[in-house]
Amino acid sequence: DKHLSSQFDAELNSISTNVLEMGGLVESQLHQAIYALVNMSLESALQVEENENR
């Protein structure tokens, strides 16, 4: 049972880390998209689009 609990905790920590990383990417993309809109920057908009495919 201890092995299963440890494995579950490790998997849960991994999922949590992945969710936090994805949240950071979303935040970065949103920031760059808003920048592109406010500054009417085609270059920034294209970068946002390129990053979407990651």
pLDDT tens-digit series, residues 16-37? 999 999 999 999 999 999 999 9
pLDDT at residue 53 above 90?
no
Tokens at residue 10, please? 């490790």
Number of domains in the chain: 1
Share of the chain above pLDDT 90, in %: 85
> Residue 26's Cα: distance from chain center in Å?
5
Q: What integer pLDDT is reported at residue 1 of this predicted model?
A: 75
Q: Taking Cα atoms as reference points, which of 13, 45, 16 lies closest to residue 32?
A: 45
pTM of the model: 0.73
Tokens at residue 5, please? 């609990």
Q: Which of the 8 DSSP states describes residue 39?
A: T
Query: Cα–Cα distance between 40 and 47 in angstroms, integer?
Result: 13
Boundaries of domain holding 29: 2-52
